Amino acid sequence: MKDITVIGAGVVGCAIARELSRYDLNILVIDKNEDVAEGISKANSGIIHGGYNEKKGTLKAKLNLEGNEMMDDLSKKLQFPFKRNGALVLAFNEEELEKVKELKANGDEIGVKGLEILNKDEVLELEKNINKNVVGALYVKSSGIVSPYEMTLALGENAVENGVEFKLGNSVVDIKKELNSYKIELDNKEVVESKLVINAAGLGADDLTYLVSNEKYEIDPVKGEYCLFDKVAGTLCEKTLFQVPSKLSKGVLVTPTVDGNLLIGPNAKHSDTIETSREGIDEILEKSQKTIKDIPVSRVLNTFSGLRPKVCGGDFIIEESRDCKNFINVIGIDSPGLTAAPAIAKYVVDIVSKNIQLKEKENFKETRTKMVRMSELNIEEKNKLIAQNPSYGKMICKCEFVTEGEIIDAIRRPLGATTLDGIKRRTRAMMGGCQGSGCMIPISMILSKELGIDISKVNKNCKSSTVIGYKEV
């Protein structure tokens, strides 16, 4: 029997698992996807929000602020990329400027540090490419950027290093409440028994509660579409550039990524599908030109979309079920969920501690060593590594300079990649100009060899996404 089962291996589920791994517990994480960060967490703008827009007294306000303050230390210990680049909330008329001043007052009241109102000249001195119609801005010095999937992987890997088990590629089809435990049935007929369950299943979290509880939650998915530009366009701005937010979203942003690309988006549409649309992409391209007139559309590498799990009331729902003891719901974690994730984890552990006696491990491993990135090494370091392992001298992805050694490492690490997208998120292979057309087959061959499967069984992301589609004879 498991002490605790976490359902959901996104950034929140992995953060919870990692925080719980500090204690002597038998912990399992279940996710229907073949990899961590395969749901909401991968299609994310990667912004570490300052928190100026949240309502005082809400969990969002509290946990956004706490999570933001934890990010520097956490990124150093777990070695995932994070940059506190700051953000500007731009006003293009006097009405918007008044709104920006209201945001500052709200942020000051909540306790957000480093907020400052800038005039037009001060804005343009910081970011010369901003539309010259700007009249002022809120400067949010505590805002930052992160790779959402690398952060999730770092949390998950460290959890595994501390004894957490992950069961990926298995959907939960039923949960039965027993006298002192829960029986969780998976789609492969396996049944997991657990003393306590944490429901962090993202868009499916409301459905899971229906299986055991009379409490009803309803998630209303809101789709956001994005355009990702190449690294040439990535020099267009240094700070994250926001427009004045609406009730539905924080608006279309223009931001650099931690990897040096440029990202614009999202829009906000009530939808339960993640397909991008011509209409939606045109919308974000048009709206982004309010921030920067000359958006280099010819430098677009890819478009994608994600769903935000909004709930009625707008705040995070993090609580033990009222009619099911030891069943903890973590529901409605939309923006700023990424920022708040490490603080959400601590909040959940506090709830767990009221039901289960927690004993800290003496050997908890607080740090994690990131993957080798050949593109980040100097020539002496590269030559030394190649001398030790010649596979690091064989280039596979020429766009992003990813070697065979890095791909093998991505497969063999804790929570190792089993799909093309898993390799992509760990190494950046297939993220460059050719978008995988030059390296997809060689990577599939490496996956085939390392996993001991025929190349026809290699998938892009899920079991129905075969890459090659034929069997070698």
Q: Give the residue numbers marked as catalytic.
A: 49
Sign of CA dihedral 244, 247, 252, 254: positive
β-strands 402-403, 317-320: how paired?
unpaired
- Integer Cα distance of 243 and 348 in angstroms: 33
Distance of CA 49 to the CA centre of its chain: 13
Amino acid at residue number 227: C
What whole-number distance in Å separates Cα of residue 184 and Cα of residue 186? 7
Q: Give the C-alpha separation, 272 to 263, whole Å.
A: 23
- Burial zone of 464 (CB within 10 Å; 0-12 exposed, 13-18 middle, 19+ buried): exposed
Three-class SS of residue 175? strand
- The alpha carbon dihedral of 407, 412, 413, 418 has a sign of positive
Name the residue with tokens 């089809």: 173
How far apart CA 121 and CA 6 sit, in angstroms, is: 50
The runs of H, that is alpha helices, within 57-141 are 59-78, 94-110, 120-126
Q: How far is CA 437 from CA 64, 300, 396, 443, in A?
A: 39, 16, 12, 11
Residue type (1 letter), 90: L
Angle (nearest 5°) at CA 378 between 300 and 239: 40
Structure tokens belonging to residue 345:
């984890």
Strand partners, 117: 138
Distance CA 398, CA 448 (A): 21
